[in-house]
């Protein structure tokens, strides 16, 4: 993530220029003096509103990354531990930006601990680490349910749903399952990564993402995933059986292993690994083996 996304500055400048041009045109056509007097006021008001987000992001980064947070991530995130100094600095910045803009709360808006919020941001920062120009696809934030699961009626402590990524609305995760996913950073399972992957997948399909697939051929993201899904040998796969449900679950389960146990996934299915490496624009193998826990 960038402290100030390029498109924010572009559109702020574009619309400010349009306001000046329209104001000048109205003045030359009507000769009305009040137009010139009102123009600076409306321009200042527009800039104050449009620059709120960039300024909020700058304040978040300037506040600095608390040492307590850094120690917590070093203890709980194998991905963070594997980054070099520059990588950690960028990761910490992305965590700060994520928390400055993304709502992370319990059911009914209840507050959650800073540790839980930090792990949510950690998962998003890892998945975006290779794509610095992209923002997390979580416009409605993240809602944490107490316990390990909830049911189809969204009752906490019942059923067996650990997470859900509805097309509209916040990402839903059972808090204890989230914490368990970070307890062993190399077991190949992480419910937060799984559910976030659904959002990334949906965004890529809706946005018409084109990607270089096997053989160097460019194709749509949906076509590339579909081809890997149809050719995958699930009987000999290290992916869980749930990955065989459909293309979306296949990609989400593969993303979990890509970030938690990349060496195993690469050894078993190098073609699938290459597709994920192209999509996320990073190779977690190099990160997870670069430093010992």
Same domain, 107 and 24: no
Of 26-30, 80-84, 130-134, 173-177, the range with the lowest mean pLDDT is: 26-30
Task: Determine what percent of the chain is predicted with pLDDT higher than 90.
Answer: 69
Comparing CA positions, the residue from 103, 126, 87 lying closest to residue 258 is 126
Would you say residue 85 lies in a domain?
Answer: yes
State residue 264's pLDDT score: 94
**Are 42 and 83 part of one and the same domain?**
no
Domain boundary among 24, 47, 62: 62
pLDDT band at residue 224, thresholds of 50, 70 and 90?
very high
User: How much is the pTM?
Assistant: 0.84
Residue 293 placed within a domain: no
pLDDT at 268 over 60: yes
Same domain, 200 and 271: yes
Which band of pLDDT confidence, cut at 50, 70 and 90, is reported for residue 292? very low
Distances (CA, A) of 167 to 149, 178, 205, 284: 20, 20, 12, 28
Domain termination residue (choose one: 19, 41, 62): 62
Specify whether 135 is located in the same domain as 201.
yes
Check if the beta carbon of residue 138 is closer than 8 Å to that of residue 95: no
Compare 159 and 13 and report the one with higher pLDDT: 159
- Residue 214 pLDDT grade (very low, low, confident, very high; cuts 50, 70, 90): confident
Weakest mean pLDDT among 52-66, 142-156, 193-207, 230-244: 52-66
- SS3 string, 159-217, reads CCECEECCCCCCEEEEHHHHHHHHHCCCCCCCHHHHHHHHHHHHHHHHCCCEEECHHHC
Examine the pLDDT at 19 and tell me if it is beyond 80.
no
pLDDT value at position 131?
93
Answer yes or no: is 215 within a domain: yes
217 and 102 both lie in a single domain = yes
Q: Is the pLDDT at 146 greater than 70, yes or no?
A: yes
Domain range for 95 is 67-288
Is the Cβ–Cβ distance between 97 and 124 less than 8 Å? no
**Beta partners for 218?**
212
Which pLDDT score is estimated for 291? 46
Supply the mean pLDDT for the chain.
Answer: 88
Mean local confidence (pLDDT), 37-59: 71
Q: Is residue 202 part of a domain?
A: yes
Q: In sequence order, which residues have a C-beta less than 8 Å from that of residue 42 and are 6 or more positions away?
A: 19, 23
**Per-residue pLDDT at 170 exceeds 80:** yes
> Do 98 and 143 belong together in one domain?
yes
Residue 278 included in any domain: yes
Identify whether 30 is part of a domain: yes
pLDDT at res. 249: 97
- Please, which pLDDT band fits residue 185 given cuts at 50, 70 and 90? low
Count of other CB atoms within 10 angstroms of residue 58 = 15
The answer to whether position 1 is within a domain reads no
pLDDT at res. 30? 77
Number of domains present in the structure of the chain:
2
Residue 145 pLDDT: 97
User: Is the same domain home to 220 and 241?
Assistant: yes
Residues 253, 154 share a domain: yes
Are residue 199 and residue 81 in the same domain, yes or no? yes
What pLDDT does residue 52 have?
72
pLDDT above 80 (res 115): yes
Same domain, 44 and 81: no
Which residue has better confidence, 58 or 246?
246
Per-residue model confidence (pLDDT) at position 8: 63
For residue 215, what pLDDT is reported?
74
Residues 116 and 179: beta-carbon distance below 8 Å: yes
User: 192, 246 in Cβ contact below 8 A?
Assistant: no
For the stretch 61-98, pLDDT in tens is 999 999 999 999 999 999 999 999 999 999 999 999 99
Same domain as 188, residue 162: yes
Q: Is 89 helix (H, G, I), strand (E, B) or coil?
A: helix
- Res 33: pLDDT: 66
For residues 226 and 107, membership in a common domain is answered with: yes
The answer to the question of residue 270 being in a domain is yes
pLDDT at 15 over 70: no
Q: Which helix (H) or strand (E) holds 91?
A: helix 85-101
Query: Residue 205 belongs to a domain with what CATH number?
Result: 3.40.390.10
């Amino acid at each position: 993530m960038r402290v100030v996304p390029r498109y924010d500055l572009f559109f702020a400048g574009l619309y400010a220029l349009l306001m000046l041009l329209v104001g000048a045109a109205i003045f030359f056509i009507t000769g009305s003096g009040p137009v010139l007097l009102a123009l600076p006021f409306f321009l200042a008001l527009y800039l104050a509103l449009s620059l709120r987000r960039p300024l909020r992001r700058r304040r978040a980064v300037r506040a600095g990354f608390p040492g307590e947070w850094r120690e917590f991530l070093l203890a709980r995130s194998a991905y963070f531990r594997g980054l070099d100094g520059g990588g950690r600095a960028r990761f910490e910045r992305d965590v700060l930006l994520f928390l400055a803009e993304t709502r992370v709360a319990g059911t009914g808006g209840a507050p959650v601990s800073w540790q839980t919020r930090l792990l949510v941001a950690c998962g998003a920062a890892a998945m975006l680490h290779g794509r610095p120009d992209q923002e997390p696809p979580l416009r409605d934030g993240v809602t944490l349910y107490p316990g390990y699961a909830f049911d189809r009626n969204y009752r906490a402590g019942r059923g067996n749903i650990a997470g859900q990524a509805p097309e509209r609305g916040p990402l839903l995760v059972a808090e204890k399952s989230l914490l368990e996913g970070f307890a062993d950073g190399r077991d190949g399972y992480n419910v937060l990564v799984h559910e976030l992957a659904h959002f990334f997948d949906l965004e890529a399909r809706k946005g018409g993402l084109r990607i270089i697939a096997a053989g160097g051929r460019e194709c749509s993201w949906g076509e590339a995933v579909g081809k890997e899904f149809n050719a995958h040998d699930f009987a000999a796969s290290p992916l869980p059986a749930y990955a065989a449900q459909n293309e979306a679950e296949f990609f989400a389960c593969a993303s979990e292993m890509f970030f938690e146990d990349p060496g195993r996934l690469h050894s078993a299915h190098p073609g699938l690994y290459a597709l994920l490496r192209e999509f996320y624009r990073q190779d977690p193998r190099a990160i997870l083996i670069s430093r010992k826990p």
